[in-house]
Chain A
Amino acid sequence: MITGKEQFVARVSSCLNRTKVPEHPTELVRPHQMQKNYLAGAPHRELIETFIANSHALGIDVHRCPVNDLTATLIQVIGEIDGPVILANDPLLTGKTAEILGREAGDCHVWDLGESRETNMNRAERAKVGIAVAELGLAETGSTLLFSHLDSGRSITLLPENSIIIVRAESIKPRLTQAMELLQRTEILPSSVNFISGPSATADIELVRVQGVHGPLELIYIIVD
């Protein structure tokens, strides 16, 4: 539903010295395309190394394992964090993995569309670890791109104090530019898409960086090959 558009936009048109909204915008001429240069043509190995180095610089812990060892790696990482676990309902995480983690952590739930909003969110709020799977990793900024929808609630990587995000090695791209290209190709955008580039942080008090504010205190990546 749209309210008040015609009058408002007509005012804007008149400020631009015209009487109606043009059919097409004028051409946007970009003076440079420097964003395309970053790690252009770099071998995949370099993308992954850069991703790891930049993630470390942001205070993000990074593990790496073959996909078959994911469950074992998760157990090891979770072992160091004591408390309930919440998982996205992703093929990489469900089935056997969820079962095993459940036994290890005790309290482990998968984001469940069969349960209510309250149940799912309360589980996420009680959880000490939230685990989700990224669409992409971005080397320049140590970022991961997450689609939060359906089986991967927004709360999973927001409410628990610890966030584990799983990144497929082959999905690591140079920078934002490639991620935006993916978004442009995505036919139906999820209602929530997040770029995550670190644990939550602030510098509002005397510009002293504090890690962990309202979002997760710790962020861990697991790169799977």
Chain B
Amino acid sequence: MSIRTGDLPLKAQLAKELANSNMREAIANGQDLLNSKRDASFEELGDYEQWRETAGAIRSHVLENLDYYLNQFANQADAAGAHVYFAKDDVQATGYCLEILQTKNAVKAVKSKSMVTEEISLNEVLEEAGIEVIETDLGEYLLQVDDHDKPSHIVVPALHKNREHFRRILAEKKGYTGDNVPENITRFVRQLIREDFMTADVGITGCNFAVAETGTVTLVTNEGNGRFVTTAPKTQIVLMGMERIVPTFAELDIMFSVLARSAIGAKLTSYMSLITGPKGETDRDGPEDLHIIIVDNGRSKVLESGFREVLRCIRCGTCMLECPAYRHISGHGYGTLYPGPLGLALVPVLAGYEDYKEITKICSLCGRCNEVCPVKVPLYESIFEHRRIIAEEGNLTNVGEKFLMGGYGNVIGHPSLYNLTTKTAHFSSAAPVVGPLKQWSLDRELPEIPKTRFRDWYAAREKKAGEK
């Protein structure tokens, strides 16, 4: 799939999403429900600020020492019997993956949801090589059936769809004859893909956190598919972004404690799986081979930029659930795999300003994201700084805007110019409603600009007082 998920230009993409009232209702309800659950969950935990500061300090420490911990993790995982591959980009990562599958003559892979695998377009590469790939997270499975629709949120991928839609596509594509009650849909899918779990050649997963001290990879899940995918197939492949490391189990404690509460308002998820090496020799289930592919794909660019702390992100999805802009356009509105405040902060550095500068406009700078991020990523500051880089460095901004902004700066930089311009401003009420005025007026009336300014009133009053 890669980072880009939508091809329309920004305004067209936004217009498309704003017109989707089903999605807007689903997202608004989703935000309200999950946000109140999260609030209650952290209220119950207590000392939220302390947890955030601690979690943030741990993540920052890891980034500061990332070379050390990657080295330690690889050595430990190797000692535990895993094969470890370092992939500098998507091509190398998918290449390793394909090689492993082809060596095993694999024809079917079952996957547990992983954002990094979507980032590197893994499914596409495997499918092109004739390997059947089945997404097993319910939301991802339903999207896959729905003509490979893209996820609209990084934790609840099908947040933008409703139950009736799912009933319909399952009826059309999989012969489902039941109603749209979520439990019934779920039971149907369980029975439908159970055989796939048992007969797949390879299980592919992501990794929530990798423990450097022991070479352990961890999966935080609810549905049981993560466990299934790492139990039944004889070969397991884990893909992880290179920044997803914790030093020891003691830090894993803190990260686990904030992740589920942030993401879904639950203390913990149903399952937290800690996998160290392939199965023991005499074990009678679990993978015989464990392969761990560690992916850069732009993360080192972020690490060396002034935006290093954006890599603290633990992919909880909170920022987008709290974002007032995301609310109306969902992840699709951004046209990027990582949407919302995370997307704005990360994607321009991860994948380049040239292609991704437009999304930095999708923000009213309300500051809510900073307040809620469990690891205190400086989201607001990052978005703010991206805008400066886009405006001031390189050839990233158009001549028209540069000119207008320069003009504005000139006017407000000189009292006489400002005085003159604002004195005649009320004539603009007669101006044609084009450009920015048109943008404003789509849903609102324009304000009327009065003949007298405040300064005129004040000057007149001073004059009168002086005359007395």
Contact = CB atoms under 8 A, between A and B. Distances in A.
A contacting B, Cβ–Cβ less than 8 Å: yes
Interface of A: 1-5, 7-16, 18, 21-22, 24-26, 28-32, 34-35, 54, 111-113, 115-117, 120-121, 124-125, 140-141, 143, 148-150, 153-155, 158, 176-177, 179-181, 183-184, 189-208, 210, 212-216
Given A8-B86, A149-B280, A180 B253 contact: yes
Contact of A202 (B58, B222, B268, B280): B222
Given A34-B54, A215-B228, A192 B286 contact: yes
A8 B296 contact: yes
A194 B190 contact: no
B268 A141 contact: yes
Contacts, number: 285
A210 B198 contact: no
Contacts of A26: 61, 64-65
A207 B186 CA distance: 13
B157 interface: yes
Contacts of B277: 191
Contact of A158 (B185, B231, B249): B231
Interface residues of B, number: 105
5 nearest A-B pairs in the assembled complex, by CB-CB distance: A215-B224, A204-B139, A15-B304, A8-B86, A200-B224
Nearest to A11: B300
Contacts of B272: 194-195, 197
B124 to A, nearest CB: 23
B380 interface: no
A197 to B, nearest CB: 5
Given A8-B88, A8-B294, A24-B68, A177 B182 contact: no
B434 interface: no
Nearest to A15: B304
A207 B282 CA distance: 41
A214 B276 contact: no
Contacts of A198: 270
A115 B290 CA distance: 23
Contacts of A31: 50, 53-54, 57
Contacts of A207: 29-30, 33-34, 156, 159
B103 interface: no
A1 B280 contact: no
Given A32-B47, A180-B250, A4 B86 contact: yes
Interface stretch (B77-85, B419-427, B458-466): B77-85
Given A1-B78, A153-B283, A206-B29, 16 more contacts: A1-B83, A30-B57, A54-B267, A150-B282, A154-B227, A181-B250, A192-B274, A192-B276, A202-B138, A202-B186, A202-B223, A203-B156, A207-B29, A207-B33, A214-B136, A214-B225
A88 B251 CA distance: 31
